[in-house]
Amino acid sequence: MNFLIDNYNIWKALHIIFVVSWFAGLFYMVRLFIYHTEANARPDDEKRVLQQQFNVMQNRLWYIITTPAMILTVVFGTLMLFANPGLLKMPWMHIKLTFVVILLVYHFICQGIMNRLKDGSSKWTSGHLRMWNELATLILVAIVFLVILKTSLGWIGGVIGFFGVGIALMLGIRLYKKLRKN
């Protein structure tokens, strides 16, 4: 047990490194989904080449970076909890772990989207995928604020801030769509 406790800061550093890698992989993955979906509007020869390339890129990103980073994030986060079980008594940690579960669901939904894009059965539009990408941003914002501010973040301020970021992101997406059309 001393090994776990003595190396707490190492587990924490590794946890943060793999959280960053996991989010980077998720953000880029959904961006690839958008490009993959938009390739459907291209002429058949171009569409085929682009989609084959996106399939290769998605597989490599998913299985070499994103999923291993997710697994290592969970492993090192779990080691931190074993090394410091007092964290589980703190209300903010329960909320954070709820967001982690939501992020895990998000991760596996992304894997399903990737598989449907690969077999040509995806019903997602590029607009829906852009909105989907912002959900990961909201989860990231919530987790970072919870971890940094802990109990100093009031519930009302936290809820207002969380939805404020969500509304700002949606307005930004709408503005981007309008600018893109012009």
At how many degrees (to 10) do helices 91-119 and 67-83 cross? 160
177 is in an annotated binding site: no
DSSP conformation letters of 89-139: GSHHHHHHHHHHHHHHHHHHHHHHHHHHHHHT-----HHHHHHHHHHHHHH
Is residue 15 part of an annotated ligand binding site?
Answer: yes
Distances (CA, A) of 122 to 24, 37, 66, 116, 171: 23, 8, 21, 5, 26
Closest CA to 127 of 166, 57, 174, 182: 174
Q: Residues comprising the binding site?
A: 15, 96
Q: Residues comprising the binding site for heme?
A: 15, 96
